[in-house]
Amino acid sequence: MSTLSERDKMIAGQSYDPADPHLIADRLRARILCHKFNTLPPEAATKAIAILKELMNAHESVMITAPFHCDYGYNIHIGLNTYLNYDCVILDIAPVKIGSNVLLGPGVHLYGATHPMNAAERRRGLESGSPISVEHDVWIGGRAVICPGVTIGAGAVIGAGSVVTRSIPAGVFAAGNPCRVIRTLETNTEEE
């Protein structure tokens, strides 16, 4: 018999029961904090930073424009000077790591959650997930979807509306459904 909690199994990418009372409480906590964040008046920047810090321990240099939604918050790790535009969603069943100086366009969704392909297994209600990593200096265009298990390499640009089902190397422009590398980007080593 497993000694791991359902939360531990979830974070480890194993099948877990989302109906576990502790996970239900964790999701409720995240929904309450997201609701508080999403209903703040625009001039309440200090309160917004405090809520994001409580939700996901975000640094004060992280900027998120409401509305924003996530499942748990505690599985989201964001670097410095990163911006998430309107209507971003992060299903942080598994760890979601977003580097520094990253830009997420409006409506970008990061899905760490997945379900069994077999219908009988889905009916059992179990879920699992795979981590997502968005490395430093990435720009993801609006309405892009990042699927479970994907890594987007440093300095990459993902075109708007893309569905990223496989990892993307550093320093490239990639776009489409499914997303594929279009070209290598010029590197700029100078600090601006």
In the chain, what are the domain boundaries? Answer: 6-181
Residue 187 above 80 pLDDT? no
pLDDT of res. 76:
98
C-alpha to C-alpha distance for 65 and 45, rounded to whole angstroms: 10
Element (H, E) at 125: none
**DSSP helix/strand/coil, 69:** strand
Per CATH, the number for 6-181 is 2.160.10.10
What's the mean pLDDT when you consider all of the chain?
95
pLDDT digits (tens, 9 = 90+) for 79-134: 999 999 999 999 999 999 999 999 999 999 999 999 999 999 899 999 999 999 99
Q: Residues with catalytic annotation?
A: 115
Model's pTM, two decimal places? 0.94
